[in-house]
Structure 1
Amino acid sequence: MSRSVVYLLLSATLLCCFATLHALPMEGTTLSFRCRCVKTTTSFINPRTFRRVEILPAGARCRKTEVLITKHDDRTVCVDPKAKWVNKYIKEVMNSLEKKTLKSPLPTQTSRAVSA
Structure 2
Amino acid sequence: MSLLSYLLLAATASYCFTTLFAFPMEGLGTHRNCQCVTTSTAYIPSRMFQRIEILPPGAHCRKIEILITKKDNKVICIDPKAPWINKFIIRVTSK
- TM-score w.r.t. the length of structure 2 is 0.66
2:82 matched to 1:79? no
- TM-score w.r.t. the length of structure 1 is 0.54
1:68 to partner: Cα distance: 0.1
Q: Which runs of 5+ in 1 are unaligned?
A: 1-24, 26-32, 97-116
- Give 4+ residue runs of structure 1 displaced > 3 Å after superposition: none
Residue 62 of structure 1 aligns to a residue in which SS?
coil
Residue 92 of structure 2 aligns to a residue in which SS?
helix
Identity rate of aligned residues, in percent? 52
Which entry has the higher C-alpha Rg, 1 or 2? 1
Give the aligned partner of residue 45 of structure 2: 46
Count of aligned pairs between the two proteins: 65
Give the aligned partner of residue 63 of structure 2: 64
Greater relative contact order, per chain length (Cα 8 Å cut-off, separation 6+): 2
Q: CA RMSD in A?
A: 1.3
> What is the CA–CA distance in structure 2 between the aligned matches of 1:49 and 1:89, rounded to whole Å?
13
> What is the CA–CA distance in structure 1 between the aligned matches of 2:45 and 2:75, rounded to whole Å?
14
